[in-house]
A = this chain, B = another copy of it.
Amino acid sequence: MSSNSEARERVLKAAEQLFVERGYEAVTVKDIAKAVGIHHASIYHHIPGGKSALYVEVMTRHMQRYREGIKAVIDRGQGDLRKQLQHIAAWIISQPPVNIIRLETSDLPSIGDTQADNISNLAFEATLLPIMKVLEDARNRGEIEHQNLGYIAGAIFASMEAFHGISNKYVDGSRLLMANKLIEVFIRGIKV
């Protein structure tokens, strides 16, 4: 059934990759099976709740890891706003895009309300909230002046994630380099 075997782990991993990349509706159970290299009927041995339960399990895990990952890189730059933002940028660029708008408007409406809320909250805790805390700390140190930090955090996150969507043909130079320049623009824009 829903044991924690190696085979099951392979299924979860493939499902995570595909769901994150294409979204809930655009991924079929067959796609996942193909990625694992087994027949699609075999998938159901590992997921008694079917596709939607698989999505919930896999996305919950994904968001938790994302949250932990971003927390770790932030901790590495403690007390230094610039370093923290640079680490955050590097993290976001190193990960597949969370794509909150697709999550909220396409993916989550396809699953149950309660579970959609859980994932929605997790997404907030993994993206906006950590950046808001970094900005709050800097404000408490008197380094930046802005009152409402929510939309600043949103802008920073969305700007960094935009590097994923905008095709390489439209921007020259390495993404990380551009991201760091963008960080300078933001810091300059909000510092006291």
**Which residues of A line the B interface, CB within 8 A?**
21-26, 97, 99-106, 109-110, 120, 124, 128, 146, 148, 150-152, 154-155, 157-159, 161-167, 170-173, 178-179, 181-182, 184-190
Kindly identify which residue among B158, B164, B166 contacts A159, using a CB–CB cutoff of 8 Å: B158
Q: Is the CB of A104 within 8 A of B167?
A: yes
CA distance A103 to B166 in the complex (A): 11
A-B contact sample (12 more), CB < 8 A, given A21-B105, A99-B101, A104-B167: A25-B25, A97-B105, A103-B165, A104-B165, A106-B106, A124-B170, A148-B178, A151-B182, A152-B185, A155-B162, A158-B159, A189-B189
CA distance A172 to B109 in the complex (A): 24
Chain B residues with CB under 8 Å of A186's CB are: 185, 189
Q: Is the CB of A166 within 8 A of B100?
A: yes
Q: List 12 A-B contacts (CB under 8 A).
A: A22-B109, A26-B106, A26-B109, A26-B110, A100-B162, A101-B102, A103-B165, A120-B167, A151-B178, A154-B166, A158-B158, A185-B186
Main secondary structure of the interface of A (DSSP, over half): helix
CB distance from A134 to the nearest CB of B (A): 16
CB distance from A105 to the nearest CB of B (A): 6
Chain B residues with CB under 8 Å of A152's CB are: 182, 185
Residue of B nearest to A151 (CB): B178
Q: Is the CB of B162 within 8 A of A150?
A: no
Top 4 closest A-B pairs, CB basis? A189-B189, A185-B189, A155-B159, A158-B162
CB distance from A29 to the nearest CB of B (A): 14
Q: Is the CB of A128 within 8 A of B166?
A: yes
Chain B residues with CB under 8 Å of A161's CB are: 101, 158
